Amino acid sequence: MGRLAQTEGLTEIQQDILSTVRSFVDKEIIPVATELEHRDEYPADIVEGMKEMGLFGLMIPEEYGGLGESLLTYALVVEEIARGWMSVSGIVNTHFIVAYMINAHGTQEQKDYFLPRMATGEVRGAFSMSEPGLGSDVAAISTKAVKDESGEFYVLNGQKMWLTNGGTSTVIACLVKTDEGASSPYKNLTTFLIEKTPGFGPNESVPGLTVPGKIDKMGYKGVDTTELVLQDVKMPSNRILGGVPGRGFYQMMDGVEVGRVNVAARGCGVAQRAFELGIRYAQQRQTFGKKIAEHQAIQFKLAEMATKVEAAHQMMVMAARKKDSGQRNDLEAGMAKYLASEYCKEVVEDSFRIHGGYGFSKEYEIERLYREAPMLLIGEGTAEIQKMIVGRRLLEEYKLAE
């Protein structure tokens, strides 16, 4: 292992976890990732291996059967997994956003019911905020939940979009509009915890809920990305996250901060792998009588790539540590997500260029990375959204005295 993207101040437990995950990635993920990705096949054996290692319970408190680790540990684990195959990191990401939201905002009954089974991977989560016409405007959510005549149930109707783990998940944190009579649209949103059976089509256990087949994507294959259709889906009021309606937006944004650190970690992992592939190929390929790594132009590229890998990693670590400290981290998470995703795209493209014509061949791993990197530019908010968040926070921090 090279000296790039090292993290200072880790405990022995954190180092042991990362060493175990890195070994798992090198032995169980990297050798099969490209083949599975080309077939768009769900990595069932890899998921079972992660369950055995306890990775689905990494951040879940020990009292619920998890490992009780920090966001930093989780982000570093995601970085390692994404280095092997970004799609696998997506399987744990949405699971952990949901687990984090339940632990941070759920009622005691919800924690006791969901978290122990989420820690083992028996129950796996999906996160549903987006809609077909929504984009980044969360206030424009149109999926509605209306109380029935008894007042004990809500009836949900609408269509959600871009659910990672939509088919394989067994609990969905779903943001919908409820009429709480608040003046702000953000205070009229509620998160429901919808428990379902895995699979596609009409759901066996939830009448009116349908998960259509997987969306066919350019990259980020293997993991299932789906729509969610809700037609007169009846949910009891005790499935409102936290038990109180109208708090959904703030719960989701708290989860998204964790998600942005995760996406930054994924960008770091993919960029590291692209750098590894590029510097290895540069020492194997010969042109004009010498290894291309000996050409100054290639050395310049490698230097730029390594600098971006290192900068993105350190920014991601800072954002995770800020959240772990209990402080607001939307500024740091936004910066980390923006920087890591943009740098990931650039490092992957430079590695692609180093590979020359072979980079265009599906036989080479860099071809897969080249299709995966663009997803990070839009996942958990586009670059423009991150810059808007960062800009607003900077104006708060540096506001002139009146």
User: What is the per-residue pLDDT for 148?
Assistant: 87
With a pLDDT cut of 90, the percent of the chain lying above it is 84
User: What is the per-residue pLDDT for 12?
Assistant: 96
Q: Assign 1 a pLDDT band (cuts: 50, 70, 90).
A: low
User: What is the per-residue pLDDT for 383?
Assistant: 84
User: What is the per-residue pLDDT for 216?
Assistant: 93
CA–CA gap between residue 342 and residue 378 (Å, rounded) = 10
Pairing label, strands 189-195, 225-236: unpaired
CA–CA gap between residue 96 and residue 262 (Å, rounded) = 10
User: What is the per-residue pLDDT for 69?
Assistant: 96
User: What is the per-residue pLDDT for 149?
Assistant: 79
pTM (two decimals): 0.93
pLDDT, tens digit, 9 for 90 and up, residues 328-384 = 888 999 999 999 999 999 999 999 999 999 999 999 999 999 999 999 998 777 888
User: What is the per-residue pLDDT for 256?
Assistant: 86
CA–CA gap between residue 98 and residue 194 (Å, rounded) = 11
pLDDT, tens digit, 9 for 90 and up, residues 121-156 = 999 999 999 999 877 778 889 999 999 877 789 999
Residue of 49, 197, 23 whose CA lies nearest to 121: 49
Q: What is residue 286's three-state secondary structure?
A: strand
User: What is the per-residue pLDDT for 71?
Assistant: 95
Place of tokens 């997987």: 214
pLDDT, tens digit, 9 for 90 and up, residues 181-227 = 778 888 899 999 999 999 999 999 999 999 998 999 999 999 999 99
| DSSP assignment of 148-196 | -TTSSEEEEEEEEEEEETTTT-SEEEEEEE-----SSGGGGEEEEEEE-
Q: Span 277-292, mean pLDDT?
A: 94
Mean pLDDT estimate for the chain: 93
> Residues 380, 384, 397, 402: which is the catalytic one?
380
User: What is the per-residue pLDDT for 128?
Assistant: 93
CA–CA gap between residue 367 and residue 274 (Å, rounded) = 10
Whether 380 is a known active-site residue: answer yes
Residues 6+ positions from 390 with CB-CB distance below 8 Å: 331, 334, 335, 338
| DSSP assignment of 200-249 | SEE-SSSTTEEEPPPPP-SS--SS-EEEEEEEEEEEEGGGBGGG-TT-HH
CA–CA gap between residue 83 and residue 314 (Å, rounded) = 16
Q: Which amino acid, residue 217?
A: K
pLDDT, tens digit, 9 for 90 and up, residues 295-344 = 999 999 999 999 999 999 999 999 999 999 988 888 999 999 999 999 99
